[in-house]
């Protein structure tokens, strides 16, 4: 094979290889374009599907908002696990004369309406109570998990003794250790169950539901203050003034002064009696001690004057609005019975307990056209240290 033939052969092979590379590149390019086109088509389908799902979701949200605006409290989930609306209606039809809030739907039914129907306003009651009650604003406050609440109080201190050199190397007897006792809280449930007609809600020029809630809170606050101070323990807390009997670690000291439901006849004897009250409280509790009484008792004490005409109450209003008695602030609480005085550090003596916040249960089903609002507040009281205060009453007779 001469050079020309060899050149032609090589040229042919190079041309064939070049054409094959061009064809391969074209095939790769077309394959890439096809893949891109397929991806774009798939992405377009995904976007269209997501847009459809979004529109469907917006429709569901709009329908749910319309139902809530009309008072439909359906708790139906996508899993169809529980339909509160259907359950409430079925109970109402089965018991048309019964109150579904106390018949059928109970707190024991934790899987359904016992939990889902309740709307809690945990912080909505404490502040109003503290503002409206001088007594509640002075004692301790604590939130507890349930009504089975107890605490330990120390009833005795550790003992000591004097000793000398143990020359006989005899065994020594132990000194006494501190002792403790258990105190238990007492509880009750304050309730209110007003209703509002749909006409009143729709036609009123102001927010009647909010106004109703404020009124209920004020009434519950007043009732709770009375119970915490003087409750008898029957479906309500046992009040501070009722805790003067029982075990020593749960009973506040009680004493009497005066005679025939009056203060001692002379100013000197009244001051002497009041000083004895102060001294009956342990020294450690006197620094933050106050006098608590009602207006009538305060005025009766203010009527006791020294020989120069000054009242035994320091009535300098720049210090305390109701004055000071033997250097201690006077706290006025209108719920205090007449003829009763409490002296000491209230926060160290007594605690106000709340099991949960104010619970509101709207009920639009029992009486068509009306919405009933069941309000409840579970509260209690418990003793801290009975040595922190003393409760004083006027003697009935000489």
For 67-83, how does the pLDDT look when each residue is reduced to its tens digit (9 = 90+)? 444 444 333 333 334 45
Find out whether 266 and 319 touch, Cβ atoms under 8 Å.
Answer: no
Q: What does the mean pLDDT of the chain come to?
A: 77
Q: Which residue has the higher pLDDT, 311 or 45?
A: 311
Residue 104: which pLDDT band, with cuts at 50, 70 and 90? very low
Lowest mean pLDDT among 15-29, 303-317, 349-363: 15-29
Lowest mean pLDDT among 26-35, 226-235, 257-266, 281-290: 26-35
Q: Is the overall model pTM greater than 0.85, yes or no?
A: no
Residue 371: which pLDDT band, with cuts at 50, 70 and 90? confident
Contacts of residue 52, Cβ cutoff 8 Å, sequence gap at least 6: none
What pLDDT is recorded for position 358? 81
Please report, rounded to a whole number, the percentage of residues in the chain having pLDDT higher than 70: 65
Residue 196: which pLDDT band, with cuts at 50, 70 and 90? confident
Question: Rounded mean pLDDT of 130-144?
Answer: 82
Distances, alpha carbon 394 to alpha carbons 254, 325, 351, in Å: 11, 17, 26
Find out whether 255 and 277 touch, Cβ atoms under 8 Å.
Answer: yes
Lowest mean pLDDT among 30-39, 114-123, 285-294: 114-123
Which is nearest to 345 in space by CA: 140, 158, 45, 71? 140
What pLDDT is recorded for position 189? 93
What pLDDT is recorded for position 210? 76
Q: Which residue has the higher pLDDT, 359 or 385?
A: 385
Instruction: Give 354's Cβ-side CA count (13 Å radius).
Output: 23
Q: Can you tell me the distance from the alpha carbon of 151 to that of 144, in angstroms, rounded to the nearest whole number?
A: 12
Question: Rounded mean pLDDT of 348-360?
Answer: 89
What pLDDT is recorded for position 239? 96
Q: 139-178 pLDDT, tens per residue?
A: 999 998 889 999 888 778 889 999 999 899 999 899 999 8
CATH assignment of 120-156+176-398, given 3.40.50.300, 3.40.630.30, 3.30.2400.10, 3.30.70.20?
Answer: 3.30.2400.10
Q: Is 373 helix (H, G, I), strand (E, B) or coil?
A: strand
Q: Is pLDDT of 116 > 60?
A: no
Give CA angle at 286 (138, 337), nearest 5°. 50
Contacts of residue 377, Cβ cutoff 8 Å, sequence gap at least 6: 125, 189, 190, 220, 224, 354, 357, 358, 359
What pLDDT is recorded for position 200? 79
Residue 35: which pLDDT band, with cuts at 50, 70 and 90? low
Q: Can you tell me the distance from the alpha carbon of 261 to that of 100, in angstroms, rounded to the nearest whole number?
A: 51
For the ranges 64-68, 80-84, 384-388, the one whose mean pLDDT is highest: 384-388
For the ranges 113-117, 124-128, 393-397, the one whose mean pLDDT is highest: 393-397
């Amino acid at each position: 094979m001469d050079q020309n033939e060899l050149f032609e052969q090589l040229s042919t092979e190079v041309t064939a290889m070049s054409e094959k590379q061009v064809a391969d590149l074209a095939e790769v390019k077309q394959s890439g374009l096809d893949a891109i086109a397929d991806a774009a088509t798939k992405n377009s389908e995904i976007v269209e599907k997501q847009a459809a799902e979004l529109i469907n979701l917006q429709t569901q949200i709009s329908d749910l908002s319309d139902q809530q605006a009309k008072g439909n409290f359906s708790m139906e989930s996508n899993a169809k696990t529980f339909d509160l609306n259907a359950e409430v209606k079925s109970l109402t039809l089965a018991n048309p004369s019964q109150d579904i809030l106390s018949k059928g739907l109970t707190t024991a039914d934790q899987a359904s309406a016992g939990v889902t129907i309740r709307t809690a306003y945990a912080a909505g009651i404490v502040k109003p109570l503290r503002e409206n009650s001088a007594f509640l604003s002075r004692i301790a406050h604590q939130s507890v998990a349930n009504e089975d609440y107890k605490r330990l109080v120390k009833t005795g201190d550790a003992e000591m003794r004097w000793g000398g050199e143990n020359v006989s190397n005899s065994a020594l007897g132990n000194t006494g250790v501190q002792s403790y006792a258990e105190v238990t809280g007492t509880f009750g449930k304050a309730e209110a169950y007003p209703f509002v007609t749909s006409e009143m809600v729709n036609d009123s020029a102001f927010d009647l539901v909010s106004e109703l809630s404020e009124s209920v809170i004020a009434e519950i606050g007043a009732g709770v203050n009375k119970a915490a101070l003087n409750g008898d323990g029957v479906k309500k807390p046992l009040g501070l003034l009722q805790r003067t009997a029982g075990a020593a670690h749960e009973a506040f000291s009680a004493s009497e002064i005066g005679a025939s439901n009056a203060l001692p006849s002379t100013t000197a004897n009244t001051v002497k009696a009041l000083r004895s009250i102060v001294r009956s409280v342990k020294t450690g509790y006197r620094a933050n001690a106050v006098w608590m009484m009602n207006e009538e008792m305060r005025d009766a004490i203010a009527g006791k004057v020294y020989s120069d005409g000054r009242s035994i109450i320091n009535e300098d209003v720049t210090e305390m609005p109701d004055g000071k008695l033997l250097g201690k602030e006077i706290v006025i609480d209108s719920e205090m019975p007449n003829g009763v005085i409490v002296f000491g550090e209230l926060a160290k003596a007594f605690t106000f307990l709340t099991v949960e916040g104010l619970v509101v249960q709207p009920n639009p089903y029992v009486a068509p056209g009306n919405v009933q609002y069941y309000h409840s507040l579970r509260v209690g009281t418990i003793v801290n240290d009975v040595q922190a205060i003393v409760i004083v009453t006027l003697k009935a007779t000489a």
